[in-house]
């Protein structure tokens, strides 16, 4: 069966505006979490993982009119997806050996254009004649996808997925399944989300934001740090990649999405959804538990999420848990973009044979009983990485990335 290969990567996060910048920061052990927001106007002075570039600067990087009004979600998505396509040897118009219409775009987002529609509403609620109502056209999540498709010059299949924090994971899964089914040859897949007052206030109302840098799986963890960014992969059929002479980073070999519907926001204490997603993804990949060399945990650093995910990991692997960790201490929880950015990190990990420590961990939670990786490792032969992204409502996704 034709494998689904990863042939291009693109990333924008609090660690930097390119894959190279992100990789260098990971290798140096640098965290992108700042003490308080500087780009988004908010009264919440809490740690966040911000992309340190203004909308005007992002427009400039994209070669667009710097006076154009565009959401950060769309701009970061365009920057990361264009980098991924260039990395895969594809022009912005889809050239370089792929037939017209055989490239698909699948973008995951939950914030959409809330960053600028929120600003518009501040004026509008005071004076209904104030502000430019046309900015509301970009509020819808699909508007970001339409902008990216236009920017990349893609006129084939394009769709948007919005399943909260599992959005990018589900985008990757859909792209892989479409390639496997022969519907397309190449899929540009990932996610993008911007920080906004709406999301910050929403998460604050749930009382799950920490006032200090987050500490995934640590006994003292008390909440997450929100982040923003975009991460995209170019997925390609083995036949297409071979025909173009492209060297892949890895393969997407397994995937699963389940919905345990336990609670509107919380995961079940026993991790039923996480357990089901991980075991099904491993089954699809044909990978046994002794063949998983690393688990990229969702690891948000909230008491409930980490306990639930930790319990699920223990249920599957018993006393032989492979190295695992969370990237949230580097970039924050980037919501719909999280699996997009973290999938890029997984691909880099397999290609480079290296694993990065999970920031913020100091002591084992007795309720979980296992500790994430805390030391940098290199020179490894990594066969398979199991990567998790779990969303509100119990919409849980797991992916398996495998060495080629």
pLDDT tens readout for residues 235-246: 999 999 999 999
User: What is the reported pLDDT for 318?
Assistant: 94
pLDDT bracket for residue 307 (50, 70, 90):
very high
Of the ranges 12-16, 34-38, 114-118, which one carries the lowest mean pLDDT score? 114-118
Look at residue 91 in the predicted model and tell me its pLDDT.
Answer: 82
**Which of 192, 190, 9, 175 lies closest to 86 in space, CA to CA?**
9
φ/ψ (deg, to 5) at 10: -150, 135
User: Which residues 6+ apart lie within 8 Å of 404 measured at CB?
Assistant: 3, 5, 248, 250, 251
Q: Lowest mean pLDDT: which of 54-58, 115-119, 163-167, 389-393? A: 115-119
| pLDDT reading at 220 higher than 80 | yes
Which CATH superfamily does the domain covering 251-402 fall into?
A: Thiolase/Chalcone synthase (3.40.47.10)
Asked whether the beta carbons of 285 and 402 are under 8 A apart, the reply is yes
**In this predicted structure, what is the pLDDT of residue 100?**
78
> Given this chain, do its domains 4-244 and 251-402 carry the same CATH topology?
yes
Please, what is the Cα angle at 161 between 355 and 394, to 5 degrees? 70
102: nearest Cα among 184, 4, 177, 178: 184
Do 44 and 271 contact (CB within 8 A), yes or no? no
Q: What pLDDT score was predicted for residue 110?
A: 94
Q: Which DSSP category does 210 fall into? A: -
Calculate mean pLDDT across residues 378-397: 91
Residue 160, pLDDT score? 98
Label residue 346 by pLDDT band (50, 70, 90). very high
- Given the DSSP bridges, would you call strands 384-390 and 395-402 parallel, antiparallel or unpaired? antiparallel
Q: What does the pLDDT read at residue 389?
A: 96
Give dist(CA 120, CA 115) in Å, integer.
9
User: Is residue 108 scored above 90 in pLDDT?
Assistant: yes
Q: What is the pLDDT of residue 266?
A: 67
Residue partners of 270: CB distance under 8 A and separation at least 6: 308, 311, 312, 315
Hey, what are 190's tokens?
């990932």
Q: Band of the pLDDT at 263, cuts 50, 70, 90?
A: low
Assess whether pLDDT exceeds 60 at residue 95.
no
Q: Which residues of 273-290 are buried (b: 16+ CB within 10 A; e: fewer)?
A: bbbbbbbbbbebbebeee
What is the DSSP track for 23-57? HHHHHHT----BSS-SSS--S----BB-----HHH
* Integer Cα distance of 343 and 354 in angstroms: 14
Residue 292: both structure tokens together = 């998983």
Give the C-alpha separation, 47 to 76, whole Å.
21
Tokens coding 115: 């960053």
Mean pLDDT over 104-108 rounds to 97
Q: Is the pLDDT of residue 334 over 90?
A: yes
Are residues 337 and 11 in contact, defined by beta-carbon separation less than 8 angstroms?
Answer: no
Distance CA 299, CA 399 (A): 15
Residue 269 is predicted with a pLDDT of 72
Domains of the chain, residue spans: 4-244, 251-402
Residue 161 has a pLDDT of: 97
Q: Please tell me the least confidently modeled range out of 12-26, 50-64, 97-111, 273-287.
A: 97-111
Side-chain-side CA neighbours of residue 328 (13 Å): 36
CA distance 170 to 152: 21
Average pLDDT of the residues of the chain: 92
Local structure of 108: helix, strand or coil: strand
Residue 164 phi, psi (nearest 5) = 60, -135
Per cent of the chain over pLDDT 70 is 94
> How confident is residue 47, by pLDDT bands cut at 50, 70 and 90?
very high
**% of the chain with per-residue pLDDT over 90:** 77
Query: Which residues carry out catalysis?
Result: 165, 298, 333
Bridge partners of 398, per DSSP, are 256, 388
Q: CATH number of the domain at 4-244, out of 3.40.50.300, 3.40.1390.10, 3.40.47.10, 3.40.50.1860? A: 3.40.47.10
Distance in angstroms (rounded) separating the CA atoms of residues 329 and 356: 11
Vertex 10 angle, CA 8 and 15, to 5°: 145
Q: Is the pLDDT of residue 356 over 90?
A: yes
> Which pair of structure tokens corresponds to residue 181?
């089914």
């Amino acid at each position: 069966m034709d494998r689904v290969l990863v042939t291009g990567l693109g990333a924008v996060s609090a660690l930097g505006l390119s894959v190279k910048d992100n990789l260098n920061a990971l290798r140096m052990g640098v965290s992108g979490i700042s003490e308080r927001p500087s780009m988004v106007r908010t009264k919440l002075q809490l740690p966040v993982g911000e992309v340190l570039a203004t909308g005007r600067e992002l427009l400039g990087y994209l070669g667009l009119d710097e006076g154009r009004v565009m959401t950060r979600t769309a701009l970061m998505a365009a920057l990361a997806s264009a980098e991924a396509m260039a990395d895969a040897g594809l022009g912005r118009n889809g050239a370089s050996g792929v037939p017209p219409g055989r490239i698909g775009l699948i973008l995951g987002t939950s914030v959409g254009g809330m960053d600028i529609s929120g600003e518009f509403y501040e004026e509008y609620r005071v004076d209904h004649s104030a502000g430019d109502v046309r900015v509301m056209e970009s509020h819808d999540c699909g508007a970001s996808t339409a902008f990216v498709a236009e920017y990349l010059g893609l006129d084939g299949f394009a769709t948007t997925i919005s399943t909260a924090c599992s959005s990018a994971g589900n985008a990757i899964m859909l792209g892989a399944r479409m390639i496997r089914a022969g519907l397309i040859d190449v899929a540009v897949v990932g996610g993008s989300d911007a920080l906004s007052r709406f999301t910050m206030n929403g998460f604050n109302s749930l009382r799950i934001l920490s006032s200090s840098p987050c500490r995934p799986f640590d006994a003292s963890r008390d909440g997450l740090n929100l982040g923003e960014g975009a991460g995209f992969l170019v997925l390609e059929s083995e036949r297409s990649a071979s025909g173009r002479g492209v060297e892949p980073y890895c393969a997407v070999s397994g995937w699963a999405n389940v919905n345990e519907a336990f609670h509107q926001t919380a995961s079940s204490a026993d991790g039923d959804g996480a357990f089901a997603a991980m075991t099904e993804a491993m089954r699809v990949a044909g990978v046994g538990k002794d063949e998983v060399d690393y688990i990229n945990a969702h690891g948000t650093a909230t008491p409930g999420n980490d306990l639930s995910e930790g319990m699920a990991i223990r249920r599957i692997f018993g006393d032989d848990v492979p190295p695992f960790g969370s990237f949230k201490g580097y970039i924050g929880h980037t919501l719909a973009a999280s699996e997009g950015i973290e999938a890029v990190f997984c691909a880099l990990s397999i290609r480079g044979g290296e694993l990065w420590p999970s920031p913020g961990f100091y002591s084992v939670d007795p309720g979980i009983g296992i500790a994430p990786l805390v030391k940098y490792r290199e020179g490894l032969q990594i066969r398979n990485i199991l990567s998790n992204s779990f969303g509100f409502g119990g919409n849980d996704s797991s992916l398996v990335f495998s060495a080629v």
